[in-house]
Amino acid sequence: MDIYTEIILDLYKNPRNKGILENPTHENFKNNPLCGDEIKVQLKVENNIVNEVKFNGNGCAISQASASLLTDKIKNMNTEEIKNLNKDDILEILHIPISPGRLKCALLSLETIKGALKNA
C-alpha cells in the first residue's frame, strides 16, 4: 500500500486542472487499453509556452494523480522541454514505487500531452 500516500489519495479526490478548456490550441485523447481508462488533455499554447492546461477523464488513483501533477508541472513550460519529459520525470513527481503493471497508468497523461503537442 506504499503507493497510496496521502498526497496521491488527496489528488485522486481533489484533482488539479481537471475540466474543460474553451478554445484550446492543442488537444488529444488517449485510452489505456489495459483498463479502459480515458483521458483528454487540452492546452493553450502561445509562443511555444503552455499558458493553460486542463485534463478530463476517468482513471485510477495513480493515473489521476499523475495527470494532476504533470499538468501542474507543464504550466509555463516550453513545448520542446515538455516533449523531452520521460518516464523518470513522472516517477520523480509521483514519488512512489510504481510496479511494471501500473506504469501505463502513471504514463498515460504524459503520452497524451506529447501527442497533443506533436505538431506544436
Partner 1 sequence: MNYKKDFPIFEENKDLVYLDSAATSQKPLSVIENIHNFYKKDNSNINRGIYDLSENATRKYENARKNIGNFINAEEKEIVFTKNTTESINFLANTIKSIIKEGKNEIVLTEMEHHSNLVPWQRFANENNFKLKFIPITADYELDYNEAEKIINEKTALVSLTHVSNVFGTINNINKIINLAKENKALTLIDAAQSIVHINVDVKKINCDFLVFSGHKIFAPLGIGVLYGKKEHLNNCDPFILGGGTINSVSYSDYDLKDSLEKFEAGTQNISGVIALEESINYINKLGLNNIQEYERELLIYALGKLKKINNIIIYNPKIENHSSIISFNLKNIHPHDVASILNDFHIAIRAGHHCCMPLMKKLNISGTCRISFSVYNTKEDIDKLLLGLNKVQEVFR
Site residues (CB under 8 A) for partner 1?
A: 1, 3-4, 9, 12, 34-38, 58-62, 102, 105
Gap between the Cα atoms of 117 and 30, Å rounded: 13
**Shortest separation between residue 81's beta carbon and partner 1, angstroms:** 30
Question: Closer to partner 1 at the Cβ: 77 or 96?
Answer: 96
Nearer to partner 1, 5 or 78 (CB): 5
**Smallest distance, partner 1 to C-beta of residue 65, A:** 11
b/e 101-118 (16+ beta carbons within 10 angstroms → b): ebebbbbbbbebbbebbe
Of 12 and 29, CB closest to partner 1: 12
| DSSP one-letter string for 58-80 | E--HHHHHHHHHHHHHHTT-BHH
Please report how close the Cβ of residue 21 comes to partner 1 at its closest, in angstroms.
22
